[in-house]
Structure 1
C-alpha cells in the first residue's frame, strides 16, 4: 500500500534535540553555580592543651623522699598531697625553736610584771608549755621574796637608827654626847634610805635590762621559728591547683632531692581547654583572628557526636619549626577556643576534654561560588599555558 506524506510534517534534526537537552541542563546549572557558595577551608591537625601552661612541681628544700601519693594520670585537687619528704630533722628543729619562743614569752610575762609592778599574765600560747609558766611563777615569787626581805631588813635597820637618834637628841642638849654622834646617826639613816632606794632601783633596772634582752632575743627566735615552720611545711609537697599528674620524674622512695629539682609535672584541669593547631605556611595568609573553625575530636566519632565549633583566637607572629621524619617542618601556631556549651552535653553525654587529645581542625577562611571553584583549574591552566619562556 502506498504511503501518503502529510504536507506539513517536518523532520527534526537529532542534534537540535541533543543541544536543547544540554541547554536545559547546563543553563540552570550555570545559574545555580554562579550563586551557590562553598566554604574555603584550611585543614590542620590539632591537639587539646590547657590554657594555663604545664606546672613543674619542684622541691624547695634538700630532702629524702619518704612517700609518693600519686601516679601518672591521677586527678588531684588543690592542696592534695603529692610527695612527703623525710621530716624528722625539720620537725625536731621546729619543736626546738617553738620551745625557745615559748620560754622567752614566759620570761617576758614575769619580767613585765616585775618592771611594771602588775600581776603575772602569760600568753595564751603557753598553754602547751605549763612547765615554763610554773617555773617563771616560782622565779617571780622568789625574786619578790628576796626583794621584800632585803627591803624589810633595811627598813628595820632604818627604824633602829631613827630610834637611836631620837634617844640621843636629849643627851646632846644635856651635853652627855657630842654633836658628832648625832651627825653619825643622821648619816646612817640617810645611808639606809639610800640603800632601800638603790635596792628597789637595782631590782627594776635588772628586770628592765633582762626584759629588753629577752624581747630582742624573742624577735630573733620568732623569725627562726617562721623559717623552720616553712621548712617543715615544705617537706609536704602539695598540688597548687586542680590538675592531672602528667609526668613523675622522682619515682623512688629514699631518693634524694635538692632545691630546684623538678619532681613531677601537672597539667591544670578545670581551666579553659583550647585547641593548638599547626597551620601550613601556604595557608597562613588566609587565616585570621575570630574566624570560625570546625573541630573533629579523634576521641569522639564525629558521625555520632558531630562537629564542635570554635574560634581562632591567636596566630603566632612568626613560623615555628619542628623536626619530623622528612626533616625540618615549618608551621604557624594557631589557638582555637571551644564553645563550652557544646562540651557540656552532646547526645546526652558530657564531653570530657583531656590535654593531649588530638583533633582534625578545619578553619573556615572564606567562601566562593561553585562556578569560581570549577573554573579555577581551567583559568590557571590557560594562564600558565599562554606564557612563553
Structure 2
C-alpha cells in the first residue's frame, strides 16, 4: 500500500467489464459530455463578461433640505397651556395659531405691564427733553457771560487808557507848574536884589513873594492830581483782574451746571433706551403667548397635552411635517468604501414595498430601481459606525414614486468601475476592496 515492497500489482482496467462497455456505447453519455463541455465553455466565456463594481448601502427616505424635515414646535417662553386650536393630523398654514399659553412668571403677570412701561418711557422722554432745554439755556447763558466779560474788559481797558492819558496830562501840568515855580523864584530873587540896590520898590518884592507862594501852592495841588491819576491807573488794572476773576467764576459755575445737566441728560437717555428695550421685549412677549406654525404642514403628534399643564422655555410641544419638500435618500456606507464615493456620482435606489429585481453588477438589467445622484457626503462617522451619504433624484431618469413617505426604508447601490467577472470573483474571494474609482469630469472645452 505504501509502495515499500517489491511486489507491484496493477489495478484492473474498467474496460474489461461489460457494463462499462455498454455505458460507453450509449448515446446519452456522449450528450452529457457535450453538455458538460458546452456549459464549461459558456462558463469560461461568462467570466470574461463585464461586471460593474458596486458599493451597497441601506438607509431611509428623507428630505433634501434640513428645513423640510419633520421638526418640533417649541415655546420660547415658559407658560401654562390654556387652549388648543388644532389636533393631530390637521393641516396648518404658516402663521396659524396652534395653542395659547398664559403667563407663569410673576414679573410679567401685570395685565397693564406694556402700557405702564410705555407711560414710564414717555415720562422719561419728556424729562430728557427738559434736560435738553436746560442744557441749551445754560449754553446761551455761558455765551452771554462771555460777551459781557468781553465788554467789561473793554471798558476796563478804556479806563486804563484814560488813566494813562490823564497821568501824561497831569505830569505835563506838573512840569509846567515846576517851570512856573522856577520862574517865580527867579523873579522874586531878582526883585530882592534890585530892592537892595534901590532899583525896585518894596511893593514889587511883596508882589513877587505872593506870586511865588501861589505857584508853590499850585505845585502841591498838581502833584496830588498826578498821584491821583497814578492811583486811578492802578485801580483800572486791578479792575481788569477783578472782572476776569468774576466772570471766570460765573462761567465755571454755568459750565458746572451745564455738565450736571448733561450728566443727568445722558443718564435719562440711558433710562429711556432701557425702557424702550423693555417695552419692545414686553410687546414681543405678549405675542409669544400664541404659539404659531413656523411653516405650512401637517401636525403629526402633540407632545404636550391637557389644559393647565405648565411648560418651560424650549419645550417641544408638537411635531409638524412640512407639506412641501424635496425627497431624498440618506444611506450609510462602510468606512472602507468612503474613498470610492464622490459627489455627483450616479446611484441606483430601490424602496421597501416596491417590487424590485436587482442585478448589482448589471444595473441596466435591474427592474424597479430608480436613479439617484450623490449630493452630500458626511465627513464624520455616525453612531452606527458608518458614513452618511445623501442622495437626490437623478433628473435625467424617471421620477421617484410620489407615494413615498418620509422614513421609508431604501437600499442603494453606487456604481463604480467596469471589470471582468473573473476579476470580481477573484477580488471577493480574497476580500479585497473595489478598485479605486474617481469619475472623470469633462473639461469646459469638451462640454462645448
Cα distance in 2 for partners of 1:302, 1:21 equals: 36
Does the 8 Å contact 1:344/1:351 carry over to 2?
no
Q: Show the counterpart of 2:414.
A: 363
Pairing partner for 1:63 from 79, 86, 111: 79
Cα distance in 1 for partners of 2:396, 2:296 equals: 22
Pairwise CA distance, 1:253: 2.1
Q: Show the counterpart of 2:96.
A: 80
Pairwise CA distance, 1:270: 3.8
1:106-255 pair list within 5 angstroms? 218-255=272-309
Pairwise CA distance, 1:232: 0.8
1:310 matched to 2:379? The reply is: no
1:261 matched to 2:287? The reply is: no
**TM-score, length-scaled by structure 2:** 0.45
> Can you list the C-alpha shifts for 1:10-64, whole angstroms capped at 9, x where unaligned?
xx99799759955994587357525422333444432122341654433222211
Q: Show the counterpart of 1:95.
A: 115
What is the aligned length?
Answer: 267
Q: Show the counterpart of 1:140.
A: none
Cα distance in 2 for partners of 1:236, 1:20 equals: 85
Pairwise CA distance, 1:250: 1.2
> Can you list the C-alpha shifts for 1:45-92, whole angstroms capped at 9, x where unaligned?
321223416544332222111223344455544333333212694753
Residue aligned with 2:282, SS: helix
Distance 1:311 1:38, change over 3 A: same
Cα distance in 2 for partners of 1:343, 1:102 equals: 66
Pairwise CA distance, 1:237: 2.0
1:314-333 pair list within 5 angstroms? 314-315=377-378, 317-318=380-381, 320-321=383-384, 331-333=385-387
Cα distance in 1 for partners of 2:341, 2:135 equals: 74
Distance 1:107 1:316, change over 3 A: closer
Cα distance in 1 for partners of 2:381, 2:134 equals: 75
Does the 8 Å contact 1:267/1:355 carry over to 2?
no
Distance 1:26 1:216, change over 3 A: closer
RMSD of the TM alignment (CA)? 4.8
Gaps (5+ residues) in structure 1? 1-11, 117-204, 322-330, 381-389
Does the 8 Å contact 1:56/1:264 carry over to 2?
yes
Does the 8 Å contact 1:276/1:336 carry over to 2?
yes
Pairwise CA distance, 1:219: 3.7
Does the 8 Å contact 1:343/1:352 carry over to 2?
no
Cα distance in 1 for partners of 2:318, 2:115 equals: 30
1:334-373 pair list within 5 angstroms? 334-339=388-393, 341=395, 351=402, 353-372=404-423
> Can you list the C-alpha shifts for 1:148-192, whole angstroms capped at 9, x where unaligned?
xxxxxxxxxxxxxxxxxxxxxxxxxxxxxxxxxxxxxxxxxxxxx
1:39 matched to 2:52? The reply is: yes
Q: Show the counterpart of 2:180.
A: none
Residue aligned with 2:307, SS: coil
Cα distance in 1 for partners of 2:48, 2:316 equals: 60
Gaps (5+ residues) in structure 2? 1-24, 137-257, 358-366, 431-448
Pairwise CA distance, 1:213: 8.9
Cα distance in 1 for partners of 2:110, 2:353 equals: 47
Pairwise CA distance, 1:343: 9.6
Pairwise CA distance, 1:355: 2.4
- Of Structure 1 and Structure 2, the greater helix share is in 2
Does the 8 Å contact 2:54/2:416 carry over to 1?
yes
> Can you list the C-alpha shifts for 1:105-129, whole angstroms capped at 9, x where unaligned?
689899999999xxxxxxxxxxxxx
